[in-house]
Copies of this chain bind each other. A is one copy, B any other.
Amino acid sequence: MLHLNRKTEYALLALEHMCLKEKEKARHINTREVAEIYHIPYPLLAKVMQELSRRGFLKSLYGVNGGYVLAKKASDITVADIAQIFEGPLAVAECFRDAKITCPQWNDCLIKDPFYELNRKLHELLVEMTIENLAMSNAS
């Protein structure tokens, strides 16, 4: 239960990899390299990278020696941001996700207030997890 999906994981792996290797290699990092190291299906990771680029988290470069670099500081990218892109808004219950309430239980719901609190706390946890923090726990 409460599973994050693979695209989110692939995105976080790629971003953290770039945070750790970017300066060391002093060049763009391409999708194939990341896919091979972490055994991620290339076409799927490519989609993920494109989405990150479209959303302004990566800057892309075409052609030979092309690839991506981080477009933001690693400390300004959170797991909450990335998960939101690939899985939509954080919502322990569906009534926190949609603006319009469609849940038939809503009027008499006994759990929505405590669940809203849970949602808030969980969001805090995800915001605390920045790419920089993730990278620090794996720095050699």
Residues of A at the B interface (CB closer than 8 Å) are 1-5, 8-9, 12-13, 16-17, 20, 37-40, 83-84, 87-94, 104-105, 108-111, 113-115, 118, 121-122, 125-126, 129, 133-135, 137-138
Are B122 and A12 in contact (CB-based, < 8 A)? no
Residues B125 and A118 in contact, CB atoms below 8 Å apart: yes
Q: Given A3-B93, A13-B110, 20 more contacts at CB 8 Å?
A: A1-B5, A1-B83, A1-B91, A2-B90, A2-B92, A2-B122, A3-B92, A4-B93, A9-B111, A12-B111, A16-B110, A16-B111, A20-B110, A39-B104, A40-B105, A110-B135, A113-B137, A114-B129, A114-B134, A122-B125
A108 and B1: CB pair below 8 A?
no
Taken together, the copies of this chain in the complex come to 2
With A13-B111, A17-B110, A39-B105 known as contacts, the answer to whether A4 contacts B92 (CB < 8 A) is yes
**Min CB–CB distance A135 → chain B (angstroms):** 8
CA distance A83 to B12 in the complex (A): 27
| Residue pair A121, B111 in contact (C-beta under 8 Å) | no
A138 partner residues in chain B, CB cutoff 8 A: 110, 113
Q: How far is the CA of A71 from the CA of B92 in the complex (A)?
A: 27
